[in-house]
Structure 1
Amino acid sequence: MYYNVTDYYDPVGAKQIPSKCPGCGTSNCLELLFYQKRIETSFSKKVTTKVSGVLFCDNTQSEIAPVLWNDEIEQYYVLEKSKLNLQPKKLSFNKWFYCLIILPLILIATTIGYNIYEEESYIDETKAIEQVHVGEKVMVLYTTTDSNNVTDNGTTWFLVKKIEADSIWVQRHEVFDTEGDVHFDLAASKFTRETLKASLTQFKTRGLFGHDYPSQKFSGYITTLQK
């Protein structure tokens, strides 16, 4: 949509005056026409109090320029202008203005609401991970290393097999996804790969690490828990 500003002049009065025409010299042929200015844009309409006048000669059917008006015509103009019943000064807005204002507010409110929802979901899930139980499953961004070199990096699931003291044992799913488009069957029979012994303390903060961090061959970040 283009932003346009257009001036309109609405007729608000007309008055015949007996003065002699400065153009043709004829009497009783002059008419004062009054117009009130209105401004419209793509978003609003404003009625102003600005009034303009036109002097028209009925005899010659032509407009008489203000520079040709004499004192008598000027006095008639001022007098008749003071008697006009003008439209009240007013500013109003159309639907596009409200769309322009409301749409960003809706987007902001939606974004804030979504962020709050995500944050609350993250907090709730973190609390669930802190209270992990045997038999539950976690999705992990998982990395394996060999001599400090990454050998595998992707997403998989682990099944919690045992919890004891400060340790947790988890068994990896048979599928290891490196592309991000794999569907995981979370049946218990699908967890057939290696079993890891990890730090329970770090697990509760969403980390999958062994007790001896410098020499461990795996690491992971827990994203989701499923009971």
Structure 2
Amino acid sequence: MAEKLIDIKEVTLNNNCPECYSKEGLRLTFRQKIKETKLYKSITSEISHEIVCNTCESIIYPVQWTDDIDRVFEYQKKAFTPKKPSTFLKKTSWIIISGVIILVAIILSAVFYLNL
């Protein structure tokens, strides 16, 4: 099973970086997890976030956040709309399901004709 995170929303923040104090370069990214197998592809409700400074190329962890960054994050979190969790069956699944239905129909028709 392959799991990956896809970027749903990316926002540039105008706050100072706690590492390099640059006012430009902070980026907040929201990601949503997708699970994929040979039979299905599923968008989960699991959301992650990350703040990165493009100036000093460091990840800004929540313990490093200032009150301003925390307020902006909470605002962006409320404004963020994730994709709805869903599951899509792949072609292989539909072939298996069709095969099972046909097999059940054959077995039921054979049982019906033997009882006549």
- TM-score after normalising by structure 2: 0.80
After TM superposition, which residue ranges in structure 1, 4 or more long, deviate above 3 angstroms? none
Q: Does the 8 A contact of 2:24 with 2:55 survive in 1?
A: no
Residue of 35, 38, 46 corresponding to 1:39? 35
Displacement of 1:116 in angstroms is 2.7
Relative contact order, higher structure (CA 8 A, sep 6+): 2
CA shift, 1:119, in A, is: 4.0
- Bigger-Rg structure (1/2): 1
Q: Which residue of 2 aligns with 1:77?
A: 73
Separation in structure 2 between the aligned mates of residue 10 and residue 80 of structure 1, nearest angstrom: 18
Give aligned pairs, total: 116
Q: Which amino acid is the alignment partner of residue 26 of structure 2?
A: L
Question: Alignment identity in percent?
Answer: 24
Which runs of 5 or more residues in structure 1 are unaligned?
121-227
| Consecutive unaligned residues in structure 2, runs of 5 or more | none
Match of 1:12 in 2: 8
Match of 2:109 in 1: 113
| Displacement of 1:47 | 1.8
Cα-Cα RMSD: 2.1
Q: Which residue of 2 aligns with 1:26?
A: 22
* Cα distance in 1 between the residues matched to 2:3 and 2:73: 23
1:159-181, CA deviations, whole angstroms, 9 ceiling, x for partnerless residues? xxxxxxxxxxxxxxxxxxxxxxx
Q: Helix, strand or coil for the counterpart of 1:75?
A: helix
- 1:15 maps to amino acid: V
Deviation (angstroms), 1:79: 0.9
Structure with bigger helix share is: 2
